[in-house]
Amino acid sequence: MDVSGTTYQLLMIISDASFYFLPFILAYTSAQRFKVTPMLAVALAGVMLHPTFATLGESIQFLSIPVSYVNYSSTVFPIIAGVYIMSWIEKFAKKISPKLLAGILVPLLTLIITSPIVLIIVGPIVNVASTQVGNFVIWMTGKAGFIAGPVLGALYPLFVFLGIHTSLVAFELQGISQSGFDPIIAIGACANTAIASVALYLALRSRNQQRKSMAASSAVSGFIGVTEPALYGLVAGRKEHWIAVFAGGAVGGFLMNLFGVKGYGIGPVPLAGIAVFFGDKFLFYLLSLLITVAVTMAVLHILGMGEEDRLETAAKEEKKATEKMTEKVTKLTAPVKGSVVPLAQVNDSTFSEEMLGKGVAILPQEGKVIAPLDGEVETIMDSRHAVGLKCGDIELLIHVGLETVGLNGKYYEAFVKEGDHVKKGDTLLTFDQKAVEEAGYDLITPVIVTNTDEFSSVTGTNVNTQADYTTEILMIERA
């Protein structure tokens, strides 16, 4: 194809448009996160990208204050910082504006105050800082890849488990906008492959048909690029699985850096977004993935997870627990007081798209979580924001708030530990509702049946109503 022809140029426009106008996309998503009127955030992005800004010359001034010109196209952090500041200014504008004129004054004041602050102070500072951070990340993966590759490859699954992996996307986009490529996504691909490999190993070796089926579906979704089902359903709470994942991710990350594999875009990895790796290093990408699979499965086998007697014992225990549950239907009462809402209203696709299983969510009105059934505490996070219960044949996850892992346990207190047996009504956790909300976190609490596929149906009841500890919220039916 003639690179000087208009067909090529139009194709380049199509491929480059989303990156060039990235601040508009980030303005909208940041507005949702920081609770800003979306159109005001988009308008701020328009101010930063306005073509006239580039024609004003070097001596730009606003009310005699010098303004540094920055090309904000394809940038990530300046608009995010700008929308965050806008959230406070919009609140201030709403407070001082008369209700009669609020529809005019609030957007006017918000935009006319935020724009100069961003253009004069925040934008230039954040742009320089983010550029330097992006350069450092690229330097680390390029010059010190023998350290950065295995370390990031080993830790990336933990980032996914804690829900903080999305913070790396900003650095990936920054790297692409600065240099046209991103080395981090290749390392992430190996980490995801290690997680999926654990599921694949269990799917091949397990004699428990339910476990085999769950592992097989988790392996498929993991290799596509969605690792949460395998991570939460199979890896979590099992140290042998974690060790295998860490080992596979570390080896894969080292190889990706050794071979110089880079991504030229963003997408689900390792397979759904495979096109971003097309180029002269593509075969090295595939080779690194295959070695990651081999290392992960080998470590898992060495640790004894492939022993058939151990799997049979686990299957027998699971069957015994299931037989104890003679009821065809189990009605689950609310573990938290508050408003019951559908999972679709949770602002996190892991829950709203039922990746972990079916259930409901509760908007808490009291800072206490109780056991809704008799059972055993299988998992409790170090940050004390989530607890997993094994109640006979029902596996339950109660996750208090979104991204509350970032509090590192602050404002939360656990009354149980892993392995404890609890009775219905026992207190599991307490939390300072006011303090968590004032810290800016959404306290919506998903209540998930993580082994949904083992039941004929899991249905939310009394949705869109107020619930106390005696209110039925889920009906779980067995075949």
Q: Average pLDDT of each block of 10 consecutive residues along the chain (479 residues)?
A: 76 77 89 92 94 84 87 82 94 92 92 94 82 64 73 86 64 73 89 95 84 90 90 83 94 92 88 91 96 96 62 57 63 94 92 93 95 93 92 93 91 93 94 93 95 92 93 90
Question: Would you call the peptide bond into 270 cis, given omega within 30 degrees of 0 as the criterion?
Answer: yes
Q: What number of helices (H) and strands (E) belong to the chain?
A: 16, 16
Are 110 and 39 spatial neighbours (Cβ–Cβ below 8 Å)?
no
Query: What's the pLDDT at 316?
Result: 62
In the residue annotation, 399 being an active-site residue is answered as yes
DSSP string, 183-236: SHHHHHHHHHHHHHHHHHHHHHH---HHHHHHHHHHHHHHHHT--HHHIIIIIT
Distance CA 476, CA 325 (A): 12
Domain ranges, ordered by start, for the chain: 6-137, 144-315, 328-477
**Is residue 203 within 8 Å of 219, Cβ to Cβ?**
yes
Cβ-Cβ contacts under 8 Å for 415 (sequence gap 6 or more): 426, 427, 428, 429, 430
Residue type, 146: F
Whether residue 157 contacts residue 227, with contact meaning beta carbons closer than 8 Å, is answered with: yes
pLDDT tens, position by position, 389-413 = 999 889 999 999 999 998 999 999 9
How far is 384 from 412, CA to CA, in rounded Å? 6
- Predicted TM-score (pTM) of this structure: 0.45
Residue 99 has what DSSP assignment?
G
271-282 residue pLDDT tens:
998 999 998 999
- Under CATH, to which class is 328-477 assigned? mainly beta
Candidate list 50, 385, 399, 421, residue with the active-site label: 399
